[in-house]
Structure 1
Amino acid sequence: MQLRDALDDYKRHEGHDTRFPGERRSTTGLFSGFGGRLVHVERDGSLRDFGYPLTGRNGIDRSRLGLRVDDDVHWFDADDTVSQTYHEGTALVVTERETPVGTLSQYDLTVDDAHATHIELEGDDERDVELVAYVGLAPNAQDTRIGQLRHEDAVELYHTTEHDFVGSATGFSDLHGQVPARFDEVLGETAVDLPRPVSENRYEEDRLSGDLVAFLPLESGSTTLVTLLTDDHTTNREAALGRLDELTTAFADADSLRRSAEAETLSVPDDAPNPEAVAADVRVLQLLSAETGLRIAGPDFDPYYAHSGGYGYTWFRDDAEISLFVDEAADYVGLDLDSWADRSARAYLLTQQRDGTWPHRVWPRDGTLAPGWANGRLEAGDGLDYQADQTGSVVTFLASVVDDVDADLREEVVAALDDALDGLDDTLAADGRPIACQNAWEDANGRFSHTAATFLEAYAAVADADLDAETTAHAKEQADRIYDALDDLWVDDRDIYALRECEEADEAEGFGAGELDPRYDSATLALAAAHRQYARVGEVDEKRLDRLVSHVENTVEGLWSDSDESEVRGLVRYEGDGWRQRWQGHEKIWSVSTAWGAHAAASTAALLGDEGDSRAAAFEEQTGELLSLVLPDGPLCMETGYLPEQVFDDGTPDSATPLGWPHALRLATVALADELGIEVSARAATLAD
């Protein structure tokens, strides 16, 4: 997304009730791409690349598709789409619509660096019809200083190293470039509709622009548009043109796209629990993954940080938890995902810092440091701007898979765990709790219950692993210290664990330095899984069980929100969360918080069940109620199968869509719920009653 596009969107949506101006949204439409390139197909048929963080290549920034019928252009965005779905669980997007000349089916598939859009038109209209494709490419993330080279039946657009190619299965009847919006248009009050209807005959327009208008003849009612993103360091022009020719030939019909999509799709067993949800979760996690195994948190809808800090990066907190959840669920569900665990482990080894910790966030395509605001351990200072839970999450995953990887990788993982334990030890205070740092939500500092939970789980996982006796004994001792120190965070009058102990006075919230922040926080639900892990190496006593039961019950109840405007219901992120409220005026429901609540309830049920405690039944019921909200057909799951990060009370999805973290939480909870014998279906939960 270029600045011109962001400003254009700002003009279109300034003052909107639920849309934040200046963003590129993916809350409608579907994604395709399992090889790094990630292409969004909007319901109006338009395409946009979101894969820059995954590949380093930018690709399509804006597009518009339509039909030229005789001399008139009919753009697809002028009509409502009939339907848009994935083909049989694959990443082939099928969009169908009615046009003035018949029913049109659009098939979109991204394979490696290429994207194919194939259309088939059914109708008896005898008028002359062509596909019109307006495509704005931004090689090297530039929208100016771009050149075009015209080849036979192909166009090459380039800035420096990124060269993007456009080809057609039926050739082009006409091609012309367009310059981007002019300064006076950018500064004007009204948005500009592109492409412009006519050329201004400016000499630079055809060859010094990333915008291309192409006319593709139909043969037997069909044609295919292919875009290919390349890097001239690895692919020369002749090879790229040859591959483009192969692609336009190979994807000249819908059957070839179906076969290719089916070959790429990981098979989900028919007897898997909630197979529709499992298939959707695996597909989303594949879509968000780079070849390194690292994932973006979600498609980056806000690259200019207009209303957030960006999402197209790898955070080790959610990435490591995704890796852990996938590893936990894969065998039970029957998914062949061992290679995922190995690849994730190698990526974490690559990105570990010299002090044994992991940084705030990295670029998933190569693990290099990405822009961030929580790299306190890389800077001179007190380290307060450091998210210690991220290192804890990676340690838990590595300790969980160290016994399963091959001998060579195991040796490297063991060495990484030794260094990581030093990093954890260095950020564990003398009182047995992590030092003051940033929280999981990245909007506060203090000594958080969630951070303590990740440390407890990490040390317990190391203590439970097949490592040398000295390492496991030390990890067990540290886990015991944290287990005891959690009592310092107990809030008697609410019967929950505090959100945090304030390191400094928080005048906005009314807490003094050293005081407990007693607000409900969905991140503290991580204590349930952490204690389940600790129970493998230590004793969870009766008092602690009682407190866990109370904490999960009261936190879920305290965060529960039930909209009067729609069927939307679930958990808000934390009590008093003011982020991205727009005109709603109170906290929004988060899919990750709701899924976390379901996972915490299931973990508590499992922990109680192991003790023969009859209270397990209530948490099994709560698991079903919360999980049903994020399952397909549940109120927080979109028709696309995606879980957006947040939802307004009126049902409008917001922020990163799909978000990888809740999809992994859902996958793990579906498996755990089935293991516990909990029957779950997408139904309206009545928790508030």
Structure 2
Amino acid sequence: MRLRDALDDHKRNRDHPTRFPGERRTTAGLFSGAGGRLIHVAPDGTVRDFGYPLSGRSGLADSRFALRLDDPPVELDVDDPAVRRTDDGSVVIELAEGDQSYHGSTALVETDYETPVGPLRRLDLAVETDGGDAHVTRVAFDDADRADALDASLLVGCTFAPEGRDARVGQLHHEDAVEVFHDRERDFLAGAAGLDVIGGGLPAGPDAVLASDPHERGADALGDRREEDHLGGHIVAATGFENGAATVATLLTDREETDREAALDDLDDLLAEATSVAALSDLAADGDAAVSLPAEVPRGDSAVDDLRVLSLLSAPTGMRIAGPDFDPHYVHSGGYGYTWFRDDAEISGFLLGADERFDLGLDDWHRRSARAFIDTQLPDGTWPHRVWPRNGALAPGWANARMEAGDDVEYQADQTASVVAFLARLLDRLPEDDPLADEVAAAVDDGLDGMIASLADDGRPVACQNAWEDAGGRFAHTAARFLDAFSAVAALGSARFDRAVEATDRAALLYDALDDLWVDERGTFAVRERGDGTLDDRLDSATFALADAHRAYAAIGEVDEVRRDRLVSHVDATVDGLYHDPADSEVAGLVRYEGDGWRQRGQGHEKIWTVSTAWGANAAGEVAALLADADDARSDEFARRSLELLELVGSDGPLTVPGGFLPEQFFDDGTPDSATPLGWPHAIRLATTALLDEQEALSGADCEPAPAVD
């Protein structure tokens, strides 16, 4: 997002009660993605590229569509706000908000519009081509003859920002396409029926940027200087309808990878192929984000949504961004368009477990994740704060103390533990003669060294940053992730991994040391031990990690009755204490932690988080399984609590927005906020479904089949 756009949004939303000014929100609308392209299609038809972290290409800053009627019907209501009559007597109809959905279990976005001249259906699809990452938009009348009768054309207003630039940008006008470029990135726009360029222009000047009112971009060139049409990223063009449909495509390329003629040929081939709904459906079904599930997978709709989202957020390397980067200037957050090893390893582990339960066919996903983790491991066996998913290069961050000559507190040790846990479980699944197995084992071996370097004499991790990246101390969550990782390595056994006994001993010492965090007065484990040795007894959803960590430990050691009772008390009290059901709103769920003041925007109360709610569901399910293994009658009650929380983030739950997306947060009035969709809760939701299915806690009514790939 360019600074000019951020300032313009600030003018529009600076006094809004639930919008943070200067952001590019994705809490409404759907995404299509392929390769390194991540396209957001807003309900009003605006298209934006969010794929820079995945590909290194910025692409579209925005793109809008409208109908132009050169022979408008006389009965057309010119008072309709969507209708604008031009000086030459034609009429322009803006495509106002439409109804959006996905086509089957693909990433093909359908938007249906009711216009003054009849219904329109629009299809948007990101497509990976030989030369780059493309996006196709097809707009069609229900009645194919209607376009001819109205002498209609499709108006396209695009603003490209190659390499994130809005100035020092050039254009080349080819016969049927326009090319926008800065240096390496080349962005193309073409139409199936040709392209009639109407105007363009330079970005808004200082007067418009500094004015108190938002800047409105018109459809004509912005000035009378002859060079303006060729020195900006803005293009307004028209393309005709053929057989009732108009199709345009954009293509993002790198000049060092794809030459100009090859890129233009790529566009021609794509437009020649995308001639019908059936053709786009076939392209969508072949895409990485298309999902095919076994029929016995329960809650098929949500499982499709989860796998689609995790695919959309993935780079070709297999690494995932946390979510679409809605705040690229870091005004109200630290950014989301990076790979955190906490999120990505947790997601990878959840997918591995769900795949083992449902046979989802995700072997390639697991192997790509392992390859990425191996390639990004630091020499001391740890992993850095965050990296660029497209190449694993170190990304801007604030928790890289293990790479600096500073205090280790500015390091998130749980990230390394989460990666080691996933790699150990994958190693257990890989055949011993698999070429990847030796590399995974070596990474686990080095990862153990990195973890041990972060342990204190009592067996718990030393002070470091927490999972939420906003505090330091000796956290229960960090200890839980270490217990999980040591247990996963120990479960390999000495025959498969020669340090399994050492990992068993480390796990046992840590298991005992967790008693130091018990707060008897609250019946919970403390969120952390502070630097002065006192316990912070606030409730924090990150402590739900203790549940699956103890179940992992139960596979290699004994979880005694006292500890089971404490886990029961902890999860029960934490769910109850963090549960929030605002008045006059349909939303309900768990807040992140007691006293969380982030992104409240004057609300005066902690906001509900989907990851905390899903995590609570998973923790209750893990406790239920642990109790069931011990023949404890309380198991059924925790399975019920798990299912109740899972319903809140289910397909029809109040914390799920159209498209099946889980936003990170919600205001009390039901307004979604922050990164949407957020990958982490989608993975937890899928894993919790698998967990409850394993315990037979889901009813037959929950086993609806997933939508088919057409």
- Range class of TM-score, shorter chain: over 0.9
Partner Cα distance (2:156, 2:501) in 1: 64
TM-score normalised per structure 2: 0.93
Kindly indicate whether residue 629 of structure 2 is the aligned counterpart of residue 604 of structure 1.
Answer: no
Counterpart for residue 134 of structure 2? 114
Match of 1:425 in 2: 452
Q: How does 1:213-362 map to 2 (within 5 A)?
A: 213-264=236-287, 265-362=290-387
Q: Would you say the 8 A contact 1:158–1:164 is kept in 2?
A: yes
Report what 2:646 is aligned to.
627
Displacement of 1:72 in angstroms is 4.3
- Equivalent residue, structure 2, for 1:510: none
- 1:453–1:530 Cα contact (<8 Å) kept: yes
- Following the alignment from structure 2 to structure 1, what is the Cα–Cα distance between the partners of residues 16 and 370? 43
| Displacement after TM superposition at 1:76 (Å) | 3.1
Whole-Å Cα distance in 1 between the matches of residues 267 and 469 of structure 2?
44
**Aligned residue number for residue 56 of structure 1:** 56
Cα deviation per residue 1:381-410 (whole Å; 9 max; x = unaligned)? 121100000001000000000132352111
- What's the counterpart of residue 212 of structure 1? 235
2:266 & 2:565 partners in 1: Cα distance?
A: 64
Moved more, 583-592 or 66-75: 66-75
| 8 Å Cα contact 1:572-1:587 kept in structure 2 | yes
Structure 1 residues 547-579: Cα deviation after superposition (integer angstroms, max 9, x where no partner):
000000001001000110211111000000000
Per-residue deviation, 1:181: 1.0
Contact 1:269 1:275 in 2 (8 A): no
Residue pairs, 1:498-647, within 5 angstroms: 498-503=526-531, 513-647=532-666
2:487 corresponds to:
460
Q: Any conservation in 2 of the 1:173–1:217 contact (CA below 8 Å)? A: no
Q: Cα RMSD over matched residues?
A: 1.3
Q: Distance in 2 between matches of 1:569 and 1:206?
A: 51
Question: Structure 2 vs 1, CA of residues 90 and 638 (structure 1 numbering), >3 Å: closer, same or farther?
Answer: same
**Uncovered stretches (5+) of structure 1, i.e. residues with no partner:** 504-512, 683-689
Residues 342 and 405 in structure 1, CA contact (< 8 A), matched pair in contact too: no
For 2:474 and 2:186, the matched residues in 1 are separated by 48
- Look up the match of 1:44: 44
CA contact (8 A) 1:332 1:671 kept: yes
Matched, 1:381 2:406: yes
Q: In the alignment, what sits opposite 2:94? A: 76
- Alignment match, 1:167: 190
User: Is the Cα contact below 8 Å between 2:198 and 2:220 reproduced in 1?
Assistant: no
Contact 2:202–2:222, Cα closer than 8 Å, also in 1: no
Query: SS of 1:370's equivalent?
Result: coil
| Structure 2 gaps, min length 5 | 71-88, 703-710
Partner Cα distance (2:94, 2:564) in 1: 58
Give, in whole Å, the separation in 2 of the partners of 1:546 and 1:399: 29
| Distance of 1:359 and 1:583 partners within structure 2 | 34
Pick from 681, 686, 691 the counterpart of residue 667 of structure 1.
Answer: 686
User: Post-superposition shift, 1:110?
Assistant: 0.3
Preserved contact between residue 285 and residue 660 of structure 1 (Cα < 8 Å):
yes
Contact in 2 for aligned 1:110/1:116 (Cα 8 Å): yes
- CA deviation profile, 1:98-146 (whole Å, cap 9, x unmatched): 2222211110000120000001023547332211111000111111111
**Alignment-derived partner of residue 520 in structure 2:** 492
Q: Which amino acid aligns with 1:241?
A: L
C-alpha separation in 2, matches of 1:411 and 1:466: 16
CA contact (8 A) 1:64 1:75 kept: no
What is the CA distance between 1:470 and its match in structure 2?
4.2
The CA deviation at 1:232 is 1.1
Aligned letter for 1:96? D
CA distance in 1, matches of 2:246, 2:598: 45
Question: Aligned match of 1:89 in 98, 101, 105?
Answer: 105
Residue in 1 that maps onto 2:16: 16
Q: Deviations over 1:569-612 (max 9, x none)?
A: 11000000000011211000000000000000000000000010
Counterpart among 424, 435, 438 of residue 408 in structure 1: 435
Equivalent pair of 1:64/1:135 in contact (CA under 8 Å)? yes
Moved more, 64-73 or 631-640: 64-73
Structure-1 separation of matches of 2:683 and 2:221: 49
Conserved? CA contact 1:34–1:289, under 8 Å: no
Q: In the aligned structure 1, how far is the partner of 2:278 from the partner of 2:46?
A: 22
Q: Is this contact kept in 2: 1:272–1:334, CA < 8 A?
A: no
Q: Match for residue 75 of structure 2?
A: none
CA distance in 1, matches of 2:579, 2:150: 58
Tell me how far apart the structure 2 counterparts of residues 194 and 344 of structure 1 sit (CA, whole Å). Answer: 43
How far did 1:196 drift?
4.5
Match of 1:98 in 2: 114
Structure 2 equivalent of residue 142 of structure 1 = 165
Work out the CA distance in 2 between the residues paired with 1:495 and 1:583. 32
Query: Which range is displaced more, 261-270 or 410-419?
Result: 261-270
Residue in structure 1 matched with residue 706 of structure 2 by the alignment: none
Contact persistence 1:44–1:76 (CA under 8 A): no
Q: Tell me if structure 2 keeps the 8 A contact 1:591–1:646.
A: yes
Q: Is the 8 A contact 1:633 1:639 kept in 2?
A: no
Letter matched to residue 297 of structure 2: A
SS of alignment partner, residue 67 of structure 2: strand
Secondary structure class of the residue paired with 2:120? strand
Counterpart pick for 1:480 among 487, 490, 508: 508
The answer (yes or no) to whether the contact 2:162–2:181 under 8 Å persists in 1 is: yes
Q: Retained in 2: the 8 A contact 1:403–1:466?
A: no
- Counterpart pick for 1:438 among 458, 461, 465: 465
Alpha carbons 1:96, 1:105 under 8 Å: kept: yes
Partner AA of 2:636 in structure 1:
A
CA distance in 1, matches of 2:602, 2:109: 34
Query: In structure 1, what is the Cα distance between the partners aligned to 2:221 and 2:581?
Result: 52
In 2: Cα distance, 1:174 partner to 1:576 partner: 55
The count of corresponding residues between Structure 1 and Structure 2 is: 671
> Which of 191, 194, 211 pairs up with 1:188?
211
| Cα distance in 2 between the residues matched to 1:33 and 1:587 | 33
Partner of 2:30: 30
1:3-50 CA-partner distances (Å, limit 9, x unpaired): 001000000000111110000000010000132210001111111000
Q: Is the 8 A contact 1:167 1:244 kept in 2?
A: yes
Equivalent position of 2:705 in the other structure: none
Asked whether the equivalents of residues 486 and 503 of structure 2 are also in contact (C-alpha less than 8 Å), the reply is yes
What percentage of aligned pairs have identical amino acids? 57
Q: Distance in 2 between matches of 1:231 and 1:613?
A: 61
Deviates more, 1:98-107 or 1:25-34: 98-107
Q: Distance in 2 between matches of 1:199 and 1:122?
A: 36
- Report the 3-state secondary structure (helix = DSSP H, G, I; strand = E; otherwise coil) of the residue aligned with 1:279: helix
Q: Deviations over 1:265-312 (max 9, x none)?
A: 221122211000100000000000001010000000000001000000
Q: Relative to structure 1, is the Cα distance of residues 614 and 26 closer, same or farther in structure 2, using a 3 angstrom cutoff?
A: same
Tell me if the contact between 1:273 and 1:333 (Cα under 8 Å) persists in the aligned partners: no
The structure whose RCO (Cα within 8 Å, separation 6+) is larger is: 2
Deviation at residue 69 of structure 1 after TM alignment: 1.9
Q: Deviations over 1:222-244 (max 9, x none)?
A: 11110000011111111111101
C-alpha separation in 1, matches of 2:493 and 2:53: 36
Q: Which amino acid aligns with 1:457?
A: D
Deviation at 1:197, TM superposition (A): 4.5
Q: TM (normalized to structure 1)?
A: 0.96
